Structure formats: structure tokens, C-alpha cells
Structure 1
Amino acid sequence: MSEAGKPRLCRVSGRDTWHIYHQRKRISTGCTDRASAELILARYAAELSRPTTRAVSVSEILSLYLNDRREALKPGAERLSWAHKPVAAWFGEKPPEAVTDRECRAYAQKRMETGIAPSTARTEMQALRAALRWAAAQKIITECPNVPLPSRSPPKERWLTRDEAHALIGGCEAFHIRLFVILALGTGARVSALLELPWSRVDMERRIIDLRDPGKARTAKGRARVPINDGLLATLQEAHAVRETGWVIEWAGDRVASVKRGFRAATIRAGLEGVTPHTLRHTAATWMAQAGVPLWEIAGFLGHSNTAMVEETYAHHSPGHLKGASSSGYDPSATVPG
């Protein structure tokens, strides 16, 4: 702002109070002494220099945040793309000020009333919170509203016994579904990691599968390099011999985008209930814990950077779980010291 355009103090003829003169307007300070008027002038000038923010809706913030993550190739964009849709539909063109604790709790409650799991509602609220924090950091909004999150869902306990796993594999009519099931049980990998796995990251000579995608940034939900056991090796060799594309999981000469329908049909044929593709990852980790594999090794196999989640979910399956603590308790058969 040029010196000529800056606000300044002036006095109006016939009046004792000081005024602020700015842009051909006079604004009374209400002060008769110059020192007090100078303080008011300073506050007025500070307000003029404060950056202004344009009106923006919650829906627009979510879209801007999603685009930013996609353009910067940041992790989480795919999950955010589905998580932000119901949130945008709920808040619509409302301003960020409409994101209150009460409104967030009402949203989560409504979502769960429609059959959505608490964990899904939590993920959607996390997407909203991340978008608002990003908007505040980018000066798109002046303040970031608080976004309370629904409680976490308890860890899923459903896992397959060996007999159930054999029944599931037997229920797979399509070869690519059978391959997916055997891969998931043998690697403990997430569904997305297997559907995105190319043959170039499968080394059958060294018997290693590299689930890490070099084109994607590393996230807390990491991926690992896992060994290929004997049963998995035979299945991979069979699949590699008849491959038509560069993808491990393929069908009709194309990459498979989803196994939900074929997997669901296989569970029905096998007579299994409460089983989803993610159950296979849970099953692989449970089997390892039951076999006495150290939790830190299970964490590494699953791609986790620490054992906290593994300990919470799988420690009780370990044959040695709490045995040390139990051995220090009262044993009626022990000799009582004299």
C-alpha cells in the first residue's frame, strides 16, 4: 500500500475527536487524545493487512484436497475418493462453520443407522478432518473446525480354520479367484496389493514376492517382500504358464479390478459365513501366531512398521501368550514353604 493510500489520523473542524481518514472516508476513533487514537489506527491498519479468505463450502474443500493429493501423487487418494462422497453429500454447500461436534455426531449416527460399520464412518470423518486441516494450512479457511471421530470398531475375530480354507479353495470355480485365495493365505497381503501385483515383482527363482509398488509413496499401511512357500510356488508356476497379461491376477486377458463377486460365490459354495477377502489376511496372521511365530516377525510379514496393532489383534493366538505371567500366580500343587 502506497503512503498516499495508507489510513491516517485527522481532525474535523469544530470537533475534538480524532478521525481515521482512509479512501476518502472519515471514521471517528471516539478519542480526544492522539495517543489513544494512534492505537485505534494501528488496529485498523492491522485489519486491512490481514489476508482475506474467500467463501468456500465443505464440498469444495474436500474436492480441492482430493485433487491436491492426486496431483502430488500422495498416498491415500484412492481411499479418500470414496470416503469423501457421503461427507460431501451431507454437508454439501454449507460453510466450514457448519462442521460442529453435534453435526459430526449426527452424521456418524445416521451412517451407522443405514448399516455402515463404525470403522467406515470413522474413516469418512478422518477424511473430513484431514481436508479441513489442509485447507487451514493453505489459508483457504482461517480456522479448522474440530471433527470428533466415532469410536474404533473392535478387531475382527473371524479367521479360517485349515479345513475352512480347503473348503473355500474347493469352492473357487474360476482359476483367478482360486489363485487370489491361495496368494492371500500365503502372503497375508491386502486385496489391493495382490490385484496390483505384476509378474515383474514375482521372483520364483529366488522365491520372493515384492508387494511394494515403486510408483507409490510409502504409507503407515506398508507392504513387504515375502517368501514363497512350496504350495504357493506350485500355484504361481501354474498361473505363469498360462498368463496372458503382465498381471498375476488376470481374467479374460485383462487385469482384475475386483474379486468381490467371485469370492462371495466361493464362500457360498463352501458354506462359509462372515468371510470377506480381508479375512484371508487376518487368517494368515492368525495361523502364524498360533504357530508361535514372534509378533515382530508377523508385523514385518504384514508390512507393519511396529508391532502395536499386531500385539493387540494376534497376541492372544500365540501359544506362549501370558504364560510367563500365569506361571507366577498361585499353584495349589506347589509345596508351601515351611
Structure 2
Amino acid sequence: MLAEVDGEQCRRFVKKRDKKGGARRDLEDLRAAINHHANEGYHRGLVKVTLPAKGEPRDKWLTRSAAAKLIWTCWRYREIQTVHRGERKGQKIATDKRPLRHLARFILIGLYTGTRAGAIAAASPVPAIGRSYIDLEQGIYYRRKQGDARTNKRQPPVPLPPRLLTHLRRWHRIAPGAEHFVTYKGQAVASVKTAFKTAVQLAGLEKGISPHTLRHTAATWLMQRGADPWQAAGYLGMSLEVLLNTYGHHHPDYLSDAVEKIAKRETKTERKRTESGIVSGAITGAVGARRSERRR
């Protein structure tokens, strides 16, 4: 099995998988499994997994109006059912069920904190193994699930914005016994991908918007508001390099000095200095040339 893993097989897998991003993640998992197998002493030979090149970072984000539209769609949407009996048989009617309201909470937490989907789904007012804990009294969000090891995906604790904290406290008052902030039919959610896709369609937003778009949106909004990049990177739990390379162009100070200097006209004083510098440089050069000729 391991002897069959080579560059050619990896490239065939990428071609068959069709999606480079998904293929790369699958091959990364395979590489990690092979490395673990070797570390446990089950094989000694070198097995190299060839990965496809990384794609361009995605930076699709929501405008504030689009985000508001998405939230209101989730909050107002009523489940549609088809009548199967009686005079109204075959007609579709709106029920009193609100199947997307849990998603409105999810979106608010994502937009205000830029937290990854898994940590939002695990957010709880009660500290416990396997949950990310929100301290409602101190207003601190401990995003890394208790019991989880630290990984490259940074999830530092962050203070919560007052507006979001108000929502969280109100939700807890409404359902003091709930173990998670985002629940569906009283149970914690493992994933919101399907509901999120439905909400995006109902809101009339463009394709390609996913739960991870909320993280891109938070980063973009922070840059657009002129937040200090170092603090923004710490708040989002990403490296400063990734923040600047992916979202830096949204910052109002992005290349502002270069733009100002390239279009700035010289004052008379600056022009005289430039001209005098050119003249003095020419004189110095001429004198140096004459001296060198005399030495010859």
C-alpha cells in the first residue's frame, strides 16, 4: 500500500478529485497519517506525498447590507409545507415553524468575532470538555474547545464586543438551561452548511458564500474601519502576515504614503534643492574627471 504512494499517484488523485482545494486537504491528511505510522515504528522507508499547489486565498466578504439581509432572512423565514388533505390539498402554506433562527445567532457570533464555524457551534455558557466557553460575566470568549490540543489554527481568547455580549446574555436569559448558544430543536448543531446554503439562496445572495465567509467578512470590516493590524490579527487568531497579504488592501492607510508622494507636486523650495543637487553633482563629477585625467 505505502509503496504505491508516489508523485504520479498523487497527481492522478488530484485530477480525479477535480477540486484542487479538497484534493490538497485529503492528501495532507494522508501525509499526516503516514507520518504518524512512521513515528509509531510501523515502517521505516521514506514515503513522500506530493501536494498540488495552494490556490489563491479566498477573500469573498459580505457588505453590511448583505449581512443584515442574511440575518433578517434567517430570523423571519417560516417553514413551507404542502397540504395533503382537504380543500387546500396541494397548496403550500407557511407554518409557524422558524427553522433558520438558530442560524441568525450563528451569523451574529461569526460577524462580531471572526471565529471559525466549529468553535461557534461549540460555544457554550457552561465550561466543559469539548466546548468553547463564553464567560458572560467577564465577557471573554475562550474559542479553543476545552480538552483540545493547540494547533496551527489559532483560537486565542478574546473580549466580546458589547453589542454581541448583550445578545448572548439575552439568549441565556431566554433559555437558561441551554448548553449551547446555537441549537436546533434543543440540540447542539454539528454543522450549519446545509442551512447556511438555504439561507443564502433565500436572501438572494451570490453563490460561493459559506459559513467561513463570516470570518473573511470580520477581517475585511476590521481593515475597512482602520483597525490596528497587529490587534486585528490577534483578535481574529491569524498571523499578521496572512491578515496583511489577504485583507490589507481594505485598510484606509494601504499604500497611502506612496499614493500621496507619487501625485505630490514639488514646492519651489524643493525644486531649488533638487536643481542645486543636480548642479552640484555635475560639478563634482566634472572636477573628479579632470583630476583623474591629470593623474594619467
Q: Would you call these one fold, judging by a TM-score over 0.5?
A: yes
Instruction: Letter of the 2:122 partner, please give it.
Output: E
User: 2:111 maps to which residue?
Assistant: 185
Q: Is 2:178 the partner of 1:252? A: no
Q: How does 1:266-285 map to 2 (within 5 A)?
A: 266-273=199-206, 274-285=208-219
Offset of residue 135 of structure 1: 2.3
Choose 1 or 2 for highest CA Rg.
1
Deviations 1:47-68 (A, max 9, x none): xxxxxxxxxxxxxxxxxxxxxx
- The size of the alignment, in residue pairs, is 238
TM-score under structure 1 length normalisation:
0.66
Q: How does 1:104-253 map to 2 (within 5 A)?
A: 104-112=10-18, 116=19, 118-172=20-74, 173=77, 174-200=100-126, 201-243=133-175, 244-253=177-186
Unaligned runs of 5+ in 2: 78-99, 127-132, 276-296
Distance 2:116 2:241 in 1: 18
Deviations 1:30-51 (A, max 9, x none): xxxxxxxxxxxxxxxxxxxxxx
Instruction: Letter of the 1:222 partner, please give it.
Output: R
Unaligned runs of 5+ in 1: 1-94
Deviations 1:266-291 (A, max 9, x none): 21221111211110011001100111
Secondary structure at the aligned position of 1:209 is classed as strand
In the TM superposition, structure 1's runs of 4+ consecutive aligned residues that sit over 4 Å from their partners are none
How has the CA–CA distance of structure 1 residues 332 and 175 changed in structure 2, closer, same or farther, with 3 Å as cutoff? closer
How has the CA–CA distance of structure 1 residues 209 and 136 changed in structure 2, closer, same or farther, with 3 Å as cutoff? closer
Deviations 1:63-113 (A, max 9, x none): xxxxxxxxxxxxxxxxxxxxxxxxxxxxxxxx211111111111111111x
- Identical aligned residues as a percent: 36
Offset of residue 225 of structure 1: 1.8
Query: Residue 226 of structure 2: which of 292, 313, 319 is its match?
Result: 292
Distance 2:236 2:156 in 1: 7
Instruction: Letter of the 1:230 partner, please give it.
Output: P
Q: Is 2:232 the partner of 1:302? A: no
Distance 1:327 1:133 in 2: 52
Distance 2:50 2:112 in 1: 38
User: 1:98 maps to which residue?
Assistant: 4
- C-alpha root-mean-square deviation of aligned residues, in Å? 1.8
Q: Is the 8 A contact 1:132 1:144 kept in 2?
A: no
Distance 2:44 2:261 in 1: 58
Deviations 1:187-212 (A, max 9, x none): 11000001111112222332222212
Distance 1:197 1:230 in 2: 17
Which segment is superposed worse, 191-200 or 263-272?
263-272
